[in-house]
Structure 1
Amino acid sequence: MQSALVVGGTRFIGRHTVAELLEHDYRVTVFNRGEHANPFSDHPDVHHYEGDRANDRELLAAKREVEPAVVIDCVAYQPRDVRKATEIFADVEAYVYVSSGASYAVDDVPKREGVTPLRECSADQAADDSPETYGNRKAEGDRMVFRAAERGAPAMAVRPTVVYGPHDYSERLDYWLHRVSEYDEVVVPGDGTNLWQRVYVEDVASALRVVAEEGTPGEAYNVGDRNALTLEDTVELAADCLDTDVDIVHASDRELSTAGLSLGSFPLYRPAPHLLDTHKLEALGWESTPVEEAMARTAADHRDAERTGESEGPERAAEETVIGVLETI
């Protein structure tokens, strides 16, 4: 039984990664500050090492005690996090950094590893922690992986697009699941054809394991749903999974402005298509869960968890104002 260290590991991507590793006969240690409930606290093959990943001594101490063969780094948000981790774990069998599709600088369709340029990252951006610099910092983390591999470290990166699934604390998809479960009419921004590819969280977890086992140091691998849905198709599939019907109301920026809204007021709306090429990952043996199955599991978790996602999008009163305006046209 191989040993794996998951930096993070109790909330969303990390939680599913631990489960994926357990299913493939790994002994897992979760490294984090212990600020969130540990869903694996009673599992005999999961151990917890409390520490702060920004504290290099604590990370090094965990490495020495656990002696992992594989390290999955789910919470590296600053480039220096990746730089130090690749130094500390330079002699493990595989270090996998969770990067992001936001690393890409231009809207190629699809975005390809090694072809589509990455974002630049200034010194100020590298030290920032705001959403505006997230993609810049993730791209610089990728470059840290590449440089580490040049020095001989077994470092690799996985770039997910927008992740959804059970235990998603962002609640972006929960907004739409709640809307279709509670209301007969739902406003969808624009004509509903905007495409922001998503990826099921269990598929991210399996990608991290597959890359650790089969990937090449110094490489990055995109991960996204094989079947990328438009926002309108997503809403319709959500309704199907919740056994309900919904009337979709399209609204332009001008119509939304009557209620103080814009196209960007809605979660999972993006003006330009965002699609990642996943052939490189598939060549390692990775497969995407059928999107209908992934959405059904996500909808079931939404129902059980009673998340609404209402804070992620417009208030219902504003939505009803827009619906009323459209009914008079």
Structure 2
Amino acid sequence: MDSALVVGGTRFIGRHTVEELVEHDYHVTLFNRGSHENPFVDYADVHHVRGDRGNDEELLSAKREVEPDVVFDFAAYHPEEVRSAVEIFADVDAYVYVSSGAAYDRDDIPKREDETPIKECTPDQAVDDSYDTYGNRKAEGDRAVFEAADRGVNAMSVRPTVVYGPFDYTERLDYWVSRVEEHDRVVVPGDGTNVWQRVYVEDVASLLRLVAENGTPGNAYNAGDQNSLTLERTIEEVASALDTDVEVVHASERELSTVNLDLADFPLYRPYPHVLDTHRAESVGWESTPVSEAMERTVGESAESDRDGADVGPARETEERLLDVLDTV
């Protein structure tokens, strides 16, 4: 297996996956519209075929041109796109669909691939583009993978939880890096003990490759750091990576309301734990990077970038008003 077609592949998870594949001697072809900068223009083993993954004829044309051994599908956001893809790539050695931990429909701790149910998806949800239906659409894409595997297609899916790492355009962790880097005190919603398991982006990339090489058709594979951190512990890891100290100031829902904030206004906050079981991923030879090492790489790139997460969390002015309120209590 040495030829890979990556549908998408220039932004975040796909970008790191291409790096992973190149490091393991794959010849990689990107298939996308070219609407984002291609970081691989100088790579001899990475080629680009321009096209729209929503156009089945263009996707089929790319398949015929590349004749890939394995396909990684990062850009399937609607179930019908997955159904088309598993037909077009029915004869490849492996088709790996990038699903999501948001596909789960019950807050088991942890969520397990064959035990925790996934969400239903109505016809209206299947064609929707809003975030509210994202998990439903990913779950239905998983079903398309499972049905294809029942027909003999070597199709599998990977379900990452919240992904962090270098070049994360969502800026969720950048918000906290910026806060810790620039200020001595930061507000943390609640008591800081909420757990929303994350997964380092390079580990997602390695799992995708390992699933393609060693996975079982019809299986979904969870991807999550094997050591799940609370939000407060995450901030402490950020401070350690920056070689600085920070005072964490907890704020309850009532205290936040004094400046018109809510717990969920802060990035990476989730009221109920979200943890994925990773034993199945480990069965294909995968392990996650130690959090301190992953955070050091992540924070280093974030601090050198121009991303600060200002648009994904409360303004610092509002935070300072809240700190003034808390100091008088």
- For Structure 1 versus Structure 2, the TM-score category normalised by the shorter chain is over 0.9
Partner Cα separation in structure 2 for residue 281 and residue 223 of structure 1: 7
Residue 315 of structure 2 corresponds to: 315
Q: What SS does structure 2 have at the residue aligned with 1:186?
A: strand
Residue 75 of structure 1 corresponds to: 75
Aligned ranges for residues 27-46 of structure 1 at < 5 Å?
27-46=27-46
Q: Which runs of 5+ in 2 are unaligned?
A: none
Q: What SS does structure 1 have at the residue aligned with 2:311?
A: helix
Aligned ranges for residues 284-323 of structure 1 at < 5 Å?
284-323=284-323
Identity %: 69
Deviation at 1:243, TM superposition (A): 1.3
TM-score (norm 2): 0.99
Deviation at 1:35, TM superposition (A): 0.7
Residue 54 of structure 1 corresponds to: 54
Partner Cα separation in structure 1 for residue 77 and residue 166 of structure 2: 22
Q: How many residues align?
A: 329
Deviations 1:227-265 (A, max 9, x none): 110000000110110111110000001000011101000
Partner Cα separation in structure 1 for residue 259 and residue 140 of structure 2: 39
Q: Which runs of 5+ in 1 are unaligned?
A: none
Residue 327 of structure 2 corresponds to: 327
Deviations 1:192-245 (A, max 9, x none): 000000000000000000000000000000010011100000001101101111
Partner Cα separation in structure 1 for residue 81 and residue 169 of structure 2: 23
Partner Cα separation in structure 2 for residue 255 and residue 321 of structure 1: 11
The one-letter code sitting in structure 2 at the alignment partner of 1:120 is E
Q: What SS does structure 1 have at the residue aligned with 2:77?
A: coil
The one-letter code sitting in structure 2 at the alignment partner of 1:174 is D
Residue 105 of structure 1 corresponds to: 105
Residue 184 of structure 1 corresponds to: 184
> Are positions 1:268 and 2:288 aligned together?
no
Partner Cα separation in structure 1 for residue 241 and residue 310 of structure 2: 19
Partner Cα separation in structure 1 for residue 218 and residue 323 of structure 2: 51
Deviation at 1:266, TM superposition (A): 0.3
Residue 164 of structure 1 corresponds to: 164
The one-letter code sitting in structure 2 at the alignment partner of 1:314 is P
> Are positions 1:243 and 2:257 aligned together?
no
Deviation at 1:303, TM superposition (A): 1.3
Deviations 1:107-163 (A, max 9, x none): 000000010010111011000010110000000000000001111111000000000
Partner Cα separation in structure 1 for residue 89 and residue 206 of structure 2: 21
Residue 15 of structure 1 corresponds to: 15
> Are positions 1:229 and 2:256 aligned together?
no
Deviation at 1:79, TM superposition (A): 0.5
Aligned ranges for residues 115-154 of structure 1 at < 5 Å?
115-154=115-154
The one-letter code sitting in structure 1 at the alignment partner of 2:37 is A
Partner Cα separation in structure 2 for residue 45 and residue 269 of structure 1: 40
Deviation at 1:68, TM superposition (A): 0.1
Q: CA RMSD in A?
A: 0.6
Partner Cα separation in structure 2 for residue 219 and residue 48 of structure 1: 29
Residue 205 of structure 2 corresponds to: 205
